[in-house]
Amino acid sequence: MTVKVQCFGVSLDGFGAGPRQDLENPLGVGGPAIFEWFFATHAFRKMHGGEGGATGGIDNQMAERGMAGLGAWILGRNMFGPVRGPWPDESWKGWWGDEPPYHGPVFVLTHHARPPLTMKGGTVFHFVTDGIHSALEQAKAAAGDKDVRIGGGVSTVRQYLQAGLVDEMHFAVGPVFMGGGENLWQGLDLNALGYECAEVIQGERATHLIVRKRVGERNPVKIPL
């Protein structure tokens, strides 16, 4: 079992979401530009019940790789929806309609309890109020011998990175500057946390970085200039 961050879009200046996230702008103002590489793939269209998209190329391969072998997901509250504070009711069921793309157990970090929510296609949202470690323990138990994916958003990924709980990460760096929003790297020292860049793969619309925990002596990847 591996705890992973997969297909996580990042701008050139380190932002994983744009500013002013709300119901109309779930990825923040300008945020969709970070994920243009993903939206263009057949893997993304298929995941959301659509057709078309690029079937060949590196970007689609990386998108497909990001969905393989998953047994459970962990999401932050903001990733689940724009509702803040105590749940006013149980009417909000996520951004994805009646059949979310997860098709398995999803553990949502929140400070406010809510009963599990069962959706079409096998997705079950579990709302975890006792922190990231509890969510990971529950996700691992649910995943069995499959992998756990930390799905985001930025704050959730940062918390798991700071705790050293992520084994492998796939960041898709898009050729765009955001200038503001949620910065993934600010204040994080991945070198001190024991991570290194293991692969650099150039896609059609993004550069894909595979980051893993170091094993033994550090062996840095040399990236040609």
Confidence category of residue 220, pLDDT binned at 50, 70, 90: very low
Cβ proximity of 143 and 72 under 8 Å:
yes
CATH number of the domain encompassing residue 195: 3.40.430.10
Structure confidence by residue, pLDDT tens digits, 141-178: 999 999 999 999 999 999 999 999 999 999 999 999 99
Residue 176 lies in a domain: yes
Q: What is the pLDDT of residue 217?
A: 38
Count up the domains in the chain and report the number: 1
Give the Cβ contact number of residue 123 at 10 Å: 21
Q: Which of 76, 61, 66, 53 is nearest to 9 (CA)?
A: 66
Q: What is the pLDDT of residue 147?
A: 98
What value does the mean pLDDT take over residues 26-40? 93
Distance CA 179, CA 20 (A): 13
Higher pLDDT, 214 or 114: 114
Domain that holds residue 200: 3-18+29-82+99-208
Residue 218 lies in a domain: no
